[in-house]
């Protein structure tokens, strides 16, 4: 299956992507994670992306698209993938469509995680991420056993720079203006499904897998 996850910052895309991708045995491709790796490692791509990410703006399309094209060309993505954080605007969606058409394939389904703004602000303010394995935690809703330490791998947990309150507000504006139009775009394409993404994480995973089941071949 070739799946895109869409939803506002803090909707739980990263949280759900890890479970859905592992259940379907397809790679999870998160543009945010790839950018953050590059920022941490000080690569040229990371240096290009850092200032946009810290402001909560989108990294320019030409940079993002080149990176995604390379990643989708890798062997493990040939039988399917789950995209988390891409596309992020209509031009990226058009480019993805063309790229897949050129490769003789197309998206199977786009899954929208529906959550209101108050909930995403609560989620982002308590988010912590593992530096080593990237497992996402929440200090109240999904706390690790030991403060600041990842239960999955023992790595150190950190708070993302773009989770500061004013940056979160700006990211939500960017979502509304640039990314939310994708919901109508994919509805027009006839491949959009949406689920309520509030409630316990495991229940949302169940809802997502049930919604995706009819698309599995
Ligand atoms: P990216 O990393 O993609 O950030 P985002 O879309 O803003 O999404 P988040 O990672 O903030 O949230 P999420 O939906 O994954 O939620 P999570 O699962 O962590 O992008 C970051 C930046 O990179 C962008 O701003 C941009 O600069 C750049 N970028 C990336 N892609 C780009 C592109 N295509 N084009 C241009 N630029 C791009 O959950 C949030 C918290 O809630 C966690 O603490 C979690 O534990 C908790 N939680 C999850 N589910 C629940 C639940 N059911 N109940 C309670 N808490 C929950």
Banded pLDDT at 28 (limits 50, 70, 90): very high
Closest CA to 22 of 80, 74, 78: 80
The pTM assigned to this predicted structure is 0.94
Q: Give pLDDT tens digits for 59-70.
A: 999 999 999 999
Nearest CA to ligand 1 atom 50: 12
Contact 155, 132 (CB under 8 A): yes
Closest CA to 36 of 123, 136, 119: 136
Say what the pLDDT of residue 164 is: 86
Q: How far is CA 107 from CA 10, 26, 35, 127, 172, in A?
A: 24, 14, 23, 30, 26
Domain boundaries, the chain: 2-26+79-116+169-215
Determine the residue of 37, 50, 136, 205 to mutate for testing ligand 1's pocket, defined as the one with the most ligand atoms within 8 A of the Cβ atom.
136
Calculate the dihedral angle through the C-alpha atoms of 153, 157, 162, 163, rounding to the nearest 10 degrees. Answer: 110
Report the chain's mean pLDDT, rounded to a whole number. Answer: 95
Q: Give pLDDT tens digits for 195-208.
A: 999 999 999 999 99
Q: In CATH, which superfamily holds the domain spanning 2-26+79-116+169-215?
A: P-loop containing nucleotide triphosphate hydrolases (3.40.50.300)
Residues tagged active-site:
13, 88, 127, 160, 171
């Amino acid at each position: 299956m070739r799946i895109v996850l869409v939803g506002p910052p803090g909707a739980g895309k990263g949280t759900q992507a890890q479970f859905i991708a592992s259940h379907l045995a397809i790679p999870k491709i998160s543009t945010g994670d790839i950018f953050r790796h590059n920022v941490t490692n000080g690569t040229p791509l990371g240096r290009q992306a850092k200032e946009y990410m810290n402001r909560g703006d989108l990294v320019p399309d030409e940079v993002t698209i080149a990176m995604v094209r390379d990643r989708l060309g890798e062997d493990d993505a040939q039988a399917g993938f789950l995209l988390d954080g891409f596309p992020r605007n209509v031009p990226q969606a058009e480019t993805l469509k063309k790229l897949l058409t050129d490769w003789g394939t197309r998206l199977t389904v786009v899954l929208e995680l529906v959550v209101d703004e108050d909930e995403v602000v609560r989620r982002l303010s308590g988010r912590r991420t593992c530096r080593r394995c990237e497992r996402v935690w929440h200090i109240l809703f999904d706390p690790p056993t030991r403060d600041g330490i990842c239960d999955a791998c023992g790595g150190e947990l950190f708070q993302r720079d773009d989770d500061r309150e004013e940056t979160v507000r700006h990211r939500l504006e960017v979502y509304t203006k640039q990314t939310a139009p994708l919901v109508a775009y994919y509805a027009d394409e006839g491949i959009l499904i949406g689920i309520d993404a509030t409630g316990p994480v495991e229940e949302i995973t169940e809802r997502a897998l049930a919604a995706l089941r009819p698309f599995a071949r």
